Amino acid sequence: MTSLFEYAPAPESRSLVDIRPSYGLFIDGEFDDGTGTPLKTVNPATEEVLSEVATGSTEDVDRAVRAARRAFTRVWGPMRPADRGKYLFRIARLLQERAREFAVLETLDNGKPIRESRDVDVPLAAAHFFYHAGWADKLEHAGLGPAPRPLGVAGQVIPWNFPLLMLAWKVAPALATGNTVVLKPAETTPLTALLFAEVCRQADLPPGVVNIVTGAGETGRAVISHPDVDKVAFTGSTEVGRSIARAVAGTAKKLTLELGGKAANIVFDDAPVDQAVEGIVRGIFFNQGHVCCAGSRLLVQESVHDEVVAALQRRIGTLRVGDPMDKNTDLGAINSHPQLERIRELVAAGDAEGAQRWQPEGELPARGYWFKPTVFTDVSPAHRIARDEVFGPVLSVMTFRTPDEAVAKANNTTYGLSAGIWSEKGSRILSTTAKLRAGVVWANTFNEFDPTSPFGGYKQSGYGREGGRQGLAAYLKGDA
């Protein structure tokens, strides 16, 4: 798309990665072909097939779980915690050393801008391993009992929006607490998980401690329902989360679910407008809006609505949408065609229900999956675009008059993952935060992540926390 300024192209080099024509499953420290029908993974910015990736069948998942159980019983469980920590440090350092390679591969497979994979996804993934490496030999000081013990084998299923980062959120705490892992990446973004498998080998991680079984939903189902899995961790849609909760109910498996969101980003009339606009943009257009905690509902105090919306539109007009490998790109490609269709359907519902749609001028690339940054005004809380998770670059703007009305509207959702508040008054921020039913509340910022800070939701956003001391509890016996 054209913008105020023309930039010279600044493409990151693709030659930093060596994508193989095909990849296998990573089980017991070895790659093998698996017995399912392989899947193709494509670059969503070009629709080019990047590679063919094995699909794990029920038998393959069973092999992976058996390998994880063996590794847990013989090696990883009995290992001195300080030694486990050394492996995690080693993995963290290798992620840093190979950061550019990971960033390029993530951008090619996922469609997100290289600026984000380079500056956010990969550094944060390494930070999760560093943070949890530090915990490995200090678990008795985590406030979770005098001698916390691992659960055993963790079955983990992750989505496509932050492929490497979600892997780190799942694998790092599991390993630090002495568990072993069978992880299923999303069907459309398996490549960085397979590069991570190579890092595990490079770090000399004992075979079977981490197993990566690629495939579609069926493979995920086999992982979570395997009888010898002790712990299930899932991030993804609320619908699949519900089906997993049903599958796990009545078993001894421990479960954490990190599901969808429909976060309110609340702008009070005393907020500095330019700063708030940056936060609104970051809240909804970061990672093309494929973010469970995206600030997808903008609640603006009525008296500043027109000013904020005008400033927001001006700012959006300067965003660069296009080649994710270009270092100047702000919005990359939508991850898959089905996701693009889902976004289109919800945007059409917004039009049909009478909201006012605004999109910037300009053309989108001819090939690949793209959607323009979109702002809906005149949105009513009953509209689908105000209730359903769009998981795309689509913002719904609503107004409020009083702080109580802001809180009521913010909480008027089936979700409860995150929220944002923009105000100059600390007292107003604190009093509003206390009334919001959201797991994470950002004040005068949005979409900040840190491994020391627990993340998770209320209501249909799931249960359990990831990160921080609280995140360790999900992988240990005897927590509350």
Catalytic residues: 258, 292
Q: Is 236 in the site for ligand NDP (CB under 6 A)?
A: yes
From residue 337, give the alpha-carbon distance in Å to each of 71, 188, 370, 394.
Answer: 39, 10, 9, 17
| Closest among 370, 373, 344 to 360, alpha carbons compared | 373
Binding marks (x or -) toward ligand NDP, 390..429, rule CB under 6 A?
-x--------------------------------------
Sheet holding 231-235, edge to edge: 30-32, 25-27, 210-212, 180-184, 153-157, 231-235, 254-258, 462-463
Q: Which segments within 10-169 are labelled E, that is strand? A: 22-23, 25-27, 30-32, 39-43, 48-53, 149-150, 153-157
Report how far Cα 232 is from the mean position of its chain's Cα atoms. Answer: 17
Closer residue to ligand NDP, CB minimum distance, 260 or 416 = 260
User: What region, left, alpha or beta, does residue 352 occupy, with left being phi > 0 and alpha being psi -120 to 50 degrees?
Assistant: alpha
Contact of 440 with 461, CB cutoff 8 Å: no
DSSP 3-state assignment of 251?
coil
Determine which residue in the list 35, 73, 96, 237 makes contact with ligand NDP, applying CB under 6 A.
237
| Helix spans in 203-272 (H) | 217-225, 238-248
Q: Is 187 in the site for ligand NDP (CB under 6 A)?
A: yes
Contact of 182 with 229, CB cutoff 8 Å: yes
From residue 296, give the alpha-carbon distance in Å to each of 115, 285, 343, 389, 398.
Answer: 22, 9, 13, 8, 11
Q: Is 438 in the site for ligand NDP (CB under 6 A)?
A: no
Q: Is 109 in the site for ligand NDP (CB under 6 A)?
A: no
Determine which residue in the list 161, 177, 211, 470 makes contact with ligand NDP, applying CB under 6 A.
161
Q: What are phi and psi of 284, to 5 degrees?
A: -110, -25
As a dihedral over the C-alpha atoms of residue 233, residue 234, residue 235, residue 236, rounded to 10 degrees, the angle is: 180
Closer residue to ligand NDP, CB minimum distance, 198 or 218 = 218
Closer residue to ligand NDP, CB minimum distance, 225 or 445 = 225
DSSP for 259-283 reads -----EEEE-TTS-HHHHHHHHHHH
**Min CB(131)–ligand NDP separation in Å:** 21
Determine which residue in the list 111, 113, 159, 322 makes contact with ligand NDP, applying CB under 6 A.
159
Size of the site for ligand NDP (CB under 6 A): 26
Residue showing the smallest CB distance to ligand NDP in the complex = 220
Q: Is 214 in the site for ligand NDP (CB under 6 A)?
A: no
Q: Is 216 in the site for ligand NDP (CB under 6 A)?
A: yes
> Which residues are CB-neighbours of 50 under 8 A, at least 6 positions away?
19, 41, 42, 43, 108, 109, 191
**Min CB(158)–ligand NDP separation in Å:** 6
Give 443's strand partners.
Answer: 421
Closer residue to ligand NDP, CB minimum distance, 148 or 260 = 260
Closer residue to ligand NDP, CB minimum distance, 159 or 322 = 159
Binding span for ligand NDP by CB under 6 A among 83-91, 117-125, 214-222, 372-380: 214-222
Q: Is 58 in the site for ligand NDP (CB under 6 A)?
A: no
What tokens does 162 get? 């932050």
**Residue numbers 337-356 binding ligand NDP by CB under 6 A:** 339, 342
Residues in the chain: 480
Binding span for ligand NDP by CB under 6 A among 65-73, 151-159, 297-305, 317-325: 151-159
**Min CB(430)–ligand NDP separation in Å:** 28
Closer residue to ligand NDP, CB minimum distance, 188 or 301 = 188
Closer residue to ligand NDP, CB minimum distance, 64 or 276 = 64
Contact of 440 with 418, CB cutoff 8 Å: yes
**Min CB(312)–ligand NDP separation in Å:** 23
Binding marks (x or -) toward ligand NDP, 374..393, rule CB under 6 A?
---------------x-x--
Site residues, ligand NDP (CB under 6 A): 157-161, 184, 186-187, 216-217, 220-221, 224, 235-237, 240, 243-244, 259-260, 292, 339, 342, 389, 391
